[in-house]
């Protein structure tokens, strides 16, 4: 059985038999919390690990899912099978709105924006007493027990565990798919991702929505675990716990959220008597992990288990496959012009580049070289002039035009290599390189990621037309 499927079977087995082998209410409650909290951490790991978008307000999405389901179930009489999806939908819609803001911000600015969102949701939950109950909260909420009070905790554990396995399977698929590689490309370089046809704005907004949906699902399950929801549960501490769990487990690793959630919940139980310094301890743990183990617990385990790969025996002698000649394209720029308000960055530029030739554009700082390259790559829309590739007018064509629908067939390279953390070393070229690994002593590269190799070793593509912004020895980056 493949290791991935074995993992799912093991999770289901643990969830199924735990209530019988460890009927202690504490262990059942702890496993329930582990299951639904891990769902929120998986969403945050997808957002932060794959796209690099920092969120300090995931407690807000968690609260919206929790209150949305709790209010509909307690005040409107909705059944749980309807109130929980509705609460998740409320969180998802808020994720789309926050994601639209995230399209224009990154780094600390995005972190502050999401922190403000989480704070606003917390304040609204405290002050809107008629709807949320304020600090007293909502009590006597229906719980997931299917009408059997005694077996209710076991049924809840099974439901939360099954949802966790489904979400984990979806997360594994995203990490191993072209979508995951596209998200990693966005994380490393927005401009590069756009030039290879990735709609950065749409994917960033969509990933925020997915992450918010998962946080809302986690919050809805929390509301119907014990039948009580209070505003004190959705403060900054919850956002930090979710963030620390994602970081401790290992960002951009599909197995990290579950391990990180287990560690953070165990830590919360250990430091429960130290509530006065709980936030300080969380901050120290987060900084310590980032400094000592940047790849988290999964990276540490992989490092401990790693063994030098033995070189395979030499294969039978075979003729090397012939190199394929790549047909070039003719690039024609005529009268390209670009203005920024009253400043003319590029004026009436014309150039013809024949296939198989190399051209250099030389000029002082501020001459408009990068702006010109951005226009050719489609990152900036030209205010005037035309651009043709093999006779096809691509002047108004966006950089994200999909292949087969009239793509620009242009790529923009950068002076410093973008190191994408994707499993690409042996994906596309494995069949052609199988007989050459022993010859070049590359047996240890089979499962290596590009960010662990030099810039020259990562160059393995054949673009139709590449447009570097400056010589490799320059200091300008994407």
Span 352-356, mean pLDDT? 84
Selected residue with higher pLDDT from 141 and 427? 141
Q: How far is CA 329 from each of CA 355, 443, 470, rounded to the nearest angstrom?
A: 5, 36, 22
Instruction: Place 125 in a pLDDT band, splitting at 50, 70 and 90.
Output: very high
| Mean pLDDT for all residues in the chain | 80
Query: What pLDDT does 310 receive?
Result: 55
Residue 457: CB atoms within 10 Å: 14
Give 400's DSSP letter: T
Name the residue ranges covered by the structural domains of the chain.
7-271+278-302, 329-423+462-470
Selected residue with higher pLDDT from 40 and 290? 40
Fold of 329-423+462-470: Rossmann fold (3.40.50)
Span 69-80, mean pLDDT? 91
152-168 per-position pLDDT tens digit = 888 899 999 999 999 99
Whether the predicted pLDDT of 476 surpasses 50: no
- The yes or no reply on domain 7-271+278-302 and CATH 1.10.3470 is yes
Nearest to 50, CA basis, from 210, 236, 164:
210
Residue 102: CB atoms within 10 Å: 24
H helix runs in 189-316, sequence order: 190-195, 200-226, 236-249, 256-270, 278-292, 296-305
Which of 81-90, 315-324, 386-395 shows the highest mean pLDDT? 81-90
DSSP codes joined into one string, 106-175? -HHHHHHHHHHHHHHHHHHHHH-HHHH-GGG-B-S---S-TT-TTTHHHHHHHHHHHHHHHHHHHHHHHH
Span 65-79, mean pLDDT? 92
Which of 118-127, 382-391, 444-453 shows the highest mean pLDDT? 118-127
């Amino acid at each position: 059985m493949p290791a991935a499927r074995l993992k799912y079977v093991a999770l289901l087995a643990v969830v199924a038999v735990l209530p019988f082998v460890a009927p202690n209410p504490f262990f059942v409650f702890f496993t329930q919390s582990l299951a639904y909290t891990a769902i929120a951490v998986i969403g945050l790991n997808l957002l932060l690990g794959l796209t690099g978008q920092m969120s300090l307000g995931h407690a807000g999405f968690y609260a919206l899912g929790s209150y949305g389901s709790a209010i509909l179930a307690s005040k409107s009489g909705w059944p749980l099978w309807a109130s929980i999806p509705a609460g998740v939908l409320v969180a998802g819609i808020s994720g789309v709105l926050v994601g639209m803001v995230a399209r224009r911000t990154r780094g600390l600015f995005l972190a502050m924006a999401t922190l403000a969102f989480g704070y606003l949701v917390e304040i609204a939950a405290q002050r809107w007493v008629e709807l949320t109950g304020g600090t007293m909260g909502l009590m006597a909420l229906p719980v997931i027990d299917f009408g059997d009070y005694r077996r209710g905790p076991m049924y809840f554990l099974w439901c939360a565990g099954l949802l966790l396995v489904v979400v984990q399977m979806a997360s594994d698929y995203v990490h191993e798919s072209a979508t995951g590689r596209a998200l990693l490309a966005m994380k490393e370089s927005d401009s590069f991702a756009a030039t290879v046809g990735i709609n950065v704005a749409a994917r960033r907004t969509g990933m925020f929505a997915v992450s918010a949906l998962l946080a809302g699902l986690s919050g809805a399950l929390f509301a119907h675990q014990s039948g009580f929801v209070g505003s004190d549960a959705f403060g900054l501490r919850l956002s930090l716990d979710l963030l620390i769990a994602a970081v401790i487990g290992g960002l951009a690793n599909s197995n990290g959220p579950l391990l990180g959630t287990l560690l953070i919940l165990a830590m919360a139980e250990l430091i429960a008597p130290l509530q006065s310094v709980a936030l300080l301890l969380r901050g120290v743990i987060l900084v310590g992990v980032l400094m000592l183990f940047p790849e988290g617990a999964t990276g540490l385990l992989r490092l401990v288990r790693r063994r030098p790969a033995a070189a395979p025996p030499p294969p039978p002698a075979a003729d090397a496959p012939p190199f394929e000649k790549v047909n070039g394209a003719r690039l024609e720029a005529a009268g390209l012009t670009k203005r920024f308000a009253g400043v003319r960055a590029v004026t009436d530029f014309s150039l013809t580049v024949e296939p198989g030739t190399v051209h250099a554009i030389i000029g002082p700082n501020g001459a408009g070289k990068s702006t010109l390259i951005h226009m050719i790559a489609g990152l900036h829309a030209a205010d005037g002039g035309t651009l043709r590739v093999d006779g096809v007018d691509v002047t108004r064509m966006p950089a994200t035009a999909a292949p087969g629908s009239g793509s620009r067939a242009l790529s923009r390279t950068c002076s410093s290599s973008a190191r994408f953390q994707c499993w690409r070393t042996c994906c596309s070229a494995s069949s052609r390189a199988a007989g050459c690994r022993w010859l070049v002593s590359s047996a240890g590269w089979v499962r290596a990621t590009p960010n662990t190799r030099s810039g020259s070793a990562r160059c393995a593509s054949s673009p139709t037309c590449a447009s570097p912004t400056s010589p490799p020895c320059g200091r300008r980056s994407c």
